[in-house]
Amino acid sequence: MSGELSPIDKAKFVAAKKAAEYVEDGMRVGLGTGSTAAWLVRCLGEMVRDEGLRIKGVPTSTRTAQLAREVGIQVVSLDEAKWLDLTIDGADEFDGDLNLIKGGGGALLQEKIVATASDQMVVIADVGKEVETLGAFPLPVEVIPFGWQTTQALIEETLVSIDVLGRASTLRMNGDSPFVTDEGNHILDLHLNRIGDARQLAMVLNQMPGVVENGLFIDICDAVVVGYGDGRVEVRDINAGTIEEAMLDFAETDNLFTDLVD
């Protein structure tokens, strides 16, 4: 595999492989959405196939559900699972306190519901996702389609009194049409550049009529597994206050990963 993957994909793969070690037989596991989370689903599928791992997976999007079924993971709804032992998901940004920006893949609402219904949330990411201050990645805000332009104007007006560097927002598109989430909503991407007080911003946004949810995940993540292009991984546990490092070996394979394309 080492000869087939770019350094960024190697980083995603080793982070996912290491995070899979958190999963134990019989667990109910939230399965994230996005390119890094897809690596995790493939790793778990390999464990189901080769090691007899038995888990119930709660996907955070229709595409994750499809992938999970393809690799042999039993898929159940959150209502069926009721509560989860663990959620593993990616992130678009994370800071030193393990606060996150998520939603680049458009699944932030289901991702936040699933993550907060879990005993533990583990984030997998390549080292490029680490930032000193959140905000360089556009902040996704899910809004209902009705009156979305009014909601957008209200958000931009409110940002004047918030500690951010930028206040522009754009409607996320899918070709010539607005992007539509699994819940039938739209997404506004806020180009803030730097967020001075992420907790305050998250609270203010969610008080606005028309806003369904925002992509700031504050005090939700328990640990982050950071992957590097050379096979190194670093596990940062915010609760234990520990940082552990390891090196994962690559092996040539023609198994579940051969057709994985980001």
Is 34 annotated as belonging to a binding site? yes
Please state whether beta strands 28-31 and 56-59 pair in parallel, antiparallel, or not at all (unpaired). parallel
Q: Which residue has the tokens 């959405």?
A: 33
Is 103 annotated as belonging to a binding site? yes
Is 87 annotated as belonging to a binding site? no
Is 36 annotated as belonging to a binding site? yes
Alpha carbons 223 and 27: distance in angstroms, whole number: 18
The DSSP code for 193 is S
Is 11 annotated as belonging to a binding site? no
Alpha carbons 244 and 130: distance in angstroms, whole number: 16
Torsion of CA 203, 225, 59, 56, to 10 degrees: -130
Alpha carbons 195 and 126: distance in angstroms, whole number: 21
* Catalytic status, residue 130: no
Is 35 annotated as belonging to a binding site? yes
Is 227 annotated as belonging to a binding site? no
Alpha carbons 160 and 163: distance in angstroms, whole number: 8
Cβ-contact 54, 85 below 8 angstroms: no
Q: Which residue in the list 93, 111, 142, 213 is annotated as catalytic?
A: 111
Is 147 annotated as belonging to a binding site? no
Q: Which residue has the tokens 């070709």?
A: 175
Q: Which residue has the tokens 């080492």?
A: 2
Which residues fall in the annotated binding site?
Answer: 33-36, 89-92, 102-105, 129
Which residues fall in the annotated binding site for substrate?
Answer: 33-36, 89-92, 102-105, 129
**Which residues are marked as active site?**
111
